[in-house]
Structure 1
Amino acid sequence: MFIYKNESITIRQLEASDKSLLVNWLNDPLVLTYYEGRDRPHDEELVEEHFYQVDGAMRCIVAYKDVPIGYIQFYELEEEERFEYGYAGNGEKIFGTDQFIGVPSYWNQGIGKQIVTTMLAYFMHVARADRVVMDPQQWNVRAIRCYERCGFVKVKELPQHEMHEGELRDCWLMSYSRDIEAALITVNEQGIG
């Protein structure tokens, strides 16, 4: 099932036949450096456990020009995360998302930005989200720059937020909201920037 598509990016729901893609990607030490950790290579059983268990997240494969290159998952924030992130009781429809490009030869070409902006279009115009949040690890400067280029802003530090390679790592809470969307549209329409 297709979730969203533009000229070069296709986001489709994860299928059973995608297990081998995930196993391949999550056994590459370069990919594991940024997603899951080099101490957590995934076999088929671990992929099944982490990516195919029903938990409310929408899990998807990302294709670039019809070639599967990555993974994205998204979900509406539950109360515990809303509270932790400072959004408890605000009434907004908020999605969280995580993603990675699993084929390193597609890195550093602007494709990550295309994936994120494609998903933002889906969140804002199809899912009618008020806000989208991410929590990248602070040391992952390349990902943070990509998200900032897409309009995300750093909201607050999340100390010792995520376990990665045997260590609790500090993360940033980053947010993209309808207000940012409106400002970006205005800037683009006026040719500013």
Structure 2
Amino acid sequence: MLVYQTDALTIRELEHSDKNLLISWLNDPLVLTYYAGRDCPHDEDLIDEHFYKEEDSVVRCLIEYENRPIGYIQFYEIEEEERLEYGYSNTNEKIYGTDQFIGETAYWNKGIGKLLVRSMLDYLLNVHKVDRVVMDPQQWNIRAISCYERCGFTKVKELPAHEMHEGELRDCWLVEYSRITKRSNMRVGKIY
């Protein structure tokens, strides 16, 4: 199912026929450096476990740029455990999280990540009517954090020893985009 589309970017729900793309991307050491860790290549079983579960509420999508599959994005409502950890337990706001990667490294450093993040913000703010969108990038990933900040996200909380990556617990930042503070009316594509 089509989720969102601009002239160049398409976000659609993940299909089983996309499995080989995920296997390819998540066996590329360069992609793994930033996503799962080089010590965590994904075989078919791990892809099934991480990307094709139907019992959770995560919406998993494939990213296409100019009709070519280039990456993955998922979005989900933040559950109570994360709300507590992130400091959102005393609010009734609708808060969503996203995770994403561009698996085709030839498409890195071309502004596509920024287009992707802005497009997902547009979709979540205008279709799902969320109040906040959050992510928790590892602190060493300056390139991702810079992209998120250029899209209007701000660092709101340090998350020490938050995520296991390549054999060690890494510090992360909680970054958020708040509808309340931004009052955004961004519209960059068609919402389906």
Taking structure 1 as the reference length, what is the TM-score of the superposition?
0.93
Identity of aligned residues (%): 66
The answer to whether the 8 A contact 1:124-1:178 is kept is: yes
User: How many residue pairs end up in the alignment?
Assistant: 185
The answer to whether the 8 A contact 1:151-1:180 is kept is: no
Displacement of 1:9: 1.0
Distance 1:40 1:154 in 2: 28
Q: Give the match for residue 81 of structure 2.
A: 80
For residues 73-129 of structure 1, give each alpha carbon's deviation from its aligned partner in whole angstroms, at most 9, with x where no partner exists.
110011110011011130100001100000100000100000000000001111110
Distance 2:108 2:164 in 1: 24
What is the root-mean-square deviation of aligned Cα atoms in Å?
A: 1.2
The structure whose residues are more often helix, as a share, is 1
Gaps of 5+ in 1: 187-193
Q: Which amino acid aligns with 1:171?
A: C
Q: Give the match for residue 191 of structure 1.
A: none
Residue 48 in structure 1 maps to residue 67 in structure 2? no
Q: Give the match for residue 31 of structure 2.
A: 31
Residue 120 in structure 1 maps to residue 121 in structure 2? yes
Residue 17 in structure 1 maps to residue 21 in structure 2? no
Secondary structure in 2 aligned to 1:42? coil
Displacement of 1:179: 2.6
Distance 2:13 2:126 in 1: 18
Distance 1:96 1:63 in 2: 20
Displacement of 1:53: 1.1
Moved over 3 A (4+): none
Distance 2:185 2:23 in 1: 39
Secondary structure in 2 aligned to 1:108? coil
Gaps of 5+ in 2: 187-192
Select the structure with the greater relative contact order (CA < 8 A; seq sep ≥ 6). 2
For residues 5-64 of structure 1, give each alpha carbon's deviation from its aligned partner in whole angstroms, at most 9, with x where no partner exists.
112111100000000000000010000000000001111111001111122100000111
Taking structure 2 as the reference length, what is the TM-score of the superposition?
0.94
Q: Give the match for residue 104 of structure 2.
A: 103
